[in-house]
Chains A and B, each alone.
Chain A
Amino acid sequence: MTKMNAACVPALLLALVAQPAWAKVTEIVAGVGAEERLQEALILAEPGDEIVLGAGRFDLSDGLSLDVDSVTVRGAGMDASVLDFTDQQGAGEGLLVTSDFVTLRDFALENPKGDGIKSKGADAIVYHRIRVTWTNGPDAGNGAYGIYPVESTGVLIDGAKVSGASDAGIYVGQSRAITIRNSIAEANVAGIEIENSRDALVEGNVVTRNTGGILVFDLPDLPVMGGGNVILRNNLVVANDEPNFAPPGNIVAGVRRGTGILVMANDGVLVEGNILSDNPTAHVMVVAYTQAYDDERYNPYPRNVVVRENMFGRGGDDPQLEGKEGLLAAFGGALPPVMWDGLAEGETGLTVVPGVAGWSLNLPAVGKGFDGAQPAPLAVPAPTYSFAADSVGAPAELEARLNR
């Protein structure tokens, strides 16, 4: 629960290294009474302890929670140890983590009624080879987020697999120092979403069959704002063509089917080295915040969004956009890979390296929808804004925990 800024992380990480020597391992076997035994173990754990889930299915009627620092919860594999929430009767998520330096690895959650795993104010957390699945596929009745760290500093998500979320499969909100990599997000409304967060690296993921692949949002009226310094690198963003199944009212309900990467507002987002193919609305979309707001702290414009070399395959050929036929005819049957709404503060909005084709709506004003759009080929400067690779991502100590 400790609130901390990035500068505090190293000091607190040292505290972790000094684990008590008597750290114990508690094994939880699936079967009768497993729910109570597991929740009791999560409560009675001491810092440094490990809770080991046996192979098998654990039937759970209520949400689980962990509030002890430096605990590892380890299963026998994401297909072997399954926490089954199909008959969940209470709580807003499957597992809630509210303590720091927690490692979650090698187990799965199925069919949580709300969110899958939520970690709130849980600094320096590792999610390794965690699976969250809504087994009935895309459905508005599924929970919102699969993996859901929020208000945290230091988040590493590696080798995870999430499908069926009615909002975002992997969602990191109001956090900093984040790495999401080597993970699969499939058949969610949003595959991966970074919201009101800073210093995030999204790398080497497979993002497919979602409505929108990777979303980087900065929204008004939240306790933590000012998202940016995000790098999206070497991801496979393919065939994100699921019709939007988010319940109306949620921000992702406005995401158009067939969006590969979507940047809304934010300061500093780099899109580089990704393979984008078969995203029928746009491979990369860069837009200002689309709705009315009343928040003096908020900047609705994207600033310093840089699209460098990526591999763009087929796409933009069945856009979910007003005036689709006219647009397709004007652009020769398919829209160019980068779509911009044309809204920026001066020249700081979007820049692309030579050779990246795009188009702009050339909208006249923020928050007015597509009114007054004058579509035209993209004409923006080449990038001058530079990103420091070592300024993004989770602290190295989190990485070290993967091999323990």
Chain B
Amino acid sequence: MTAKQIIGGWILGAALTAAAAAMAAAKDTPMPVSEAAVLDGRLVRNLSEFGFFANARAQVPNVDVTAYRLNTPLYSDGAEKLRFLYLPAGTVAAAQGEGLLSLPVGAALIKTFAFGAGDQRRLIETRVLLHRADGWTALPYRWNDQQTEAVLAVAGARIAVVTPQGQEISYRIPNKNQCKECHGLNGEVVPIGPKARNLSHDWLGGMIAAGKLDAMPDHAAQLPLWEAQAQASPKAAARAYLDVNCAHCHQPGATASNSGLDLRWEQHDRQALGIGKRPVAAGRGSGGHLFDIVPGKPEESILVHRMNNLDPGVAMPELGKSTIDDEGVIVVERWIEGL
């Protein structure tokens, strides 16, 4: 299957979902999304108070809520991730080159994590990012066993799940502060995912057609589609992976800024990317290796060692996963081998 077919299939799926939502809206006329819940300063207790979904159990979005996917996603123990953007009626997102779409105050990003397929699908948590007047607020919601409601879990939680690979793990719902560890940049909370370079051209076009995006973002390169990364260059696949999985912390002004490692897609300085760079505060995370990346030698590269490890204090990323992303490791190894 080519990348184009995949995109096409996915877009069709999204369209059907939207149609289903519209039908649901017509039949049941659900309440619109609660602008008050998004905007006011409360720690909203129940996910349902926002009204992001016409059918939350089925993850059918409400009016003004649009599903999206990312070309290269963050690895989260193989969880199925359902992403939505809420734009209040009449508001428009603004393109900013290849970077994050500029979203108006009142907007929200919603991401649900689920394990299991078909009837067995179990919603675990839904994380929301709310664009309030004083900035973005990140809140984690934990689904109940009956799958009827998700309740704010400010302190996070641990839940037993079985991954698609059959591993039984203690899945971690991050606490409210941990949301900020990844979403913090220069002292503020910011979205990470919806950067133009990681969204499909078709989706962006659809948003423009719907009057929800001001213009097609002007940028050169798109991150490769993860499921089609075999067709991408090793460099593009690996750099996209590192951008999405690591760079939210490993960039200036973010949680791991003091490491001096900068894994953003737009970074081209070899030292900043870790090539021939000595670790700063890695401790036993170094695994006895001398450099973050040794060209041609993934087995001697600290970066690979830490991706390949589950021990807290060694494992990278520090948050958001409890298993090793074998595919990700292979992609990064292939790139380092060719350096």
Query: In this assembly, does B290 line the interface, its C-beta being within 8 Å of a C-beta of chain A?
Result: yes
Q: State the main secondary structure of chain B at its contact with A.
A: loop
Rounded to whole Å, the gap between the CB of A86 and the closest CB of chain B is: 12
Assuming the contacts A62-B172, A249-B302, asked whether A67 and B283 have C-beta atoms less than 8 A apart, the reply is no
Residues in A whose Cβ lies below 8 Å from that of B297: none
How far is B288's CA from A154's CA once the two chains are assembled, in angstroms?
33
Query: In this assembly, does A183 line the interface, its C-beta being within 8 Å of a C-beta of chain B?
Result: no
Rounded to whole Å, the gap between the CB of A224 and the closest CB of chain B is: 8
Q: When the two chains form their complex, are residues A90 and B318 in contact, meaning their CB atoms are under 8 A apart? A: yes
Interface residues of A in 109-148 (CB under 8 A from B): 112-115, 120-121, 140-145, 148
Residues in B whose Cβ lies below 8 Å from that of A61: 158
Closest to B262 in A: A223
How far is B175's CA from A37's CA once the two chains are assembled, in angstroms?
12
Query: In this assembly, does A50 line the interface, its C-beta being within 8 Å of a C-beta of chain B?
Result: no
Binds B, one of A38-46, A305-313, A342-350: A38-46
How far is B282's CA from A148's CA once the two chains are assembled, in angstroms?
13
Query: In this assembly, does B257 line the interface, its C-beta being within 8 Å of a C-beta of chain A?
Result: yes
Query: In this assembly, does B133 line the interface, its C-beta being within 8 Å of a C-beta of chain A?
Result: no
Query: In this assembly, does A277 line the interface, its C-beta being within 8 Å of a C-beta of chain B?
Result: no
Interface residue tally of chain B, by bracket? 35 or more
Residues in B whose Cβ lies below 8 Å from that of A121: 187
Query: In this assembly, does B144 line the interface, its C-beta being within 8 Å of a C-beta of chain A?
Result: no
Rounded to whole Å, the gap between the CB of A68 and the closest CB of chain B is: 9
Assuming the contacts A174-B258, A247-B288, A250-B286, asked whether A221 and B271 have C-beta atoms less than 8 A apart, the reply is yes
Q: When the two chains form their complex, are residues A43 and B177 in contact, meaning their CB atoms are under 8 A apart? A: yes
Query: Of the candidates B158, B187, B286, which one forms a contact with A249 in the assembled complex, judged by CB atoms under 8 Å apart?
Result: B286
Binds B, one of A7-15, A91-99, A378-386: A91-99
Q: When the two chains form their complex, are residues A144 and B278 in contact, meaning their CB atoms are under 8 A apart? A: no
Q: When the two chains form their complex, are residues A39 and B312 in contact, meaning their CB atoms are under 8 A apart? A: no
Closest to A174 in B: B258
Query: In this assembly, does B82 line the interface, its C-beta being within 8 Å of a C-beta of chain A?
Result: no
Query: In this assembly, does A59 line the interface, its C-beta being within 8 Å of a C-beta of chain B?
Result: no
How far is B154's CA from A37's CA once the two chains are assembled, in angstroms?
10
How far is B153's CA from A43's CA once the two chains are assembled, in angstroms?
11
Q: When the two chains form their complex, are residues A173 and B287 in contact, meaning their CB atoms are under 8 A apart? A: no
Q: When the two chains form their complex, are residues B260 and A248 in contact, meaning their CB atoms are under 8 A apart? A: no
Of B155, B282, B290, most A-chain CB atoms within 10 Å: B155
Query: Of the candidates B157, B187, B257, B318, which one forms a contact with A92 in the assembled complex, judged by CB atoms under 8 Å apart?
Result: B318
Residues in B whose Cβ lies below 8 Å from that of A114: 283, 285, 312-314, 318
Q: When the two chains form their complex, are residues A96 and B181 in contact, meaning their CB atoms are under 8 A apart? A: yes
Interface residues of A in 32-56 (CB under 8 A from B): 35-37, 39-40, 42-44
Residues of A participating in the B interface, judged by any CB pair closer than 8 Å: 1-3, 35-37, 39-40, 42-44, 61-63, 65-67, 88-92, 96, 98, 112-115, 120-121, 140-145, 148, 150-151, 166-167, 171, 173-174, 219, 221-224, 247-251, 291, 294-295
Please name 10 pairs of A and B residues whose Cβ atoms are closer than 8 Å in the assembled complex, sorted by A: A39-B155, A65-B178, A89-B170, A92-B313, A98-B180, A113-B311, A121-B187, A222-B280, A247-B282, A249-B282
Residues of B participating in the A interface, judged by any CB pair closer than 8 Å: 154-158, 170, 172, 175-178, 180-181, 184, 187, 252, 255, 257-258, 260, 271, 277-291, 302, 311-314, 318-319, 322
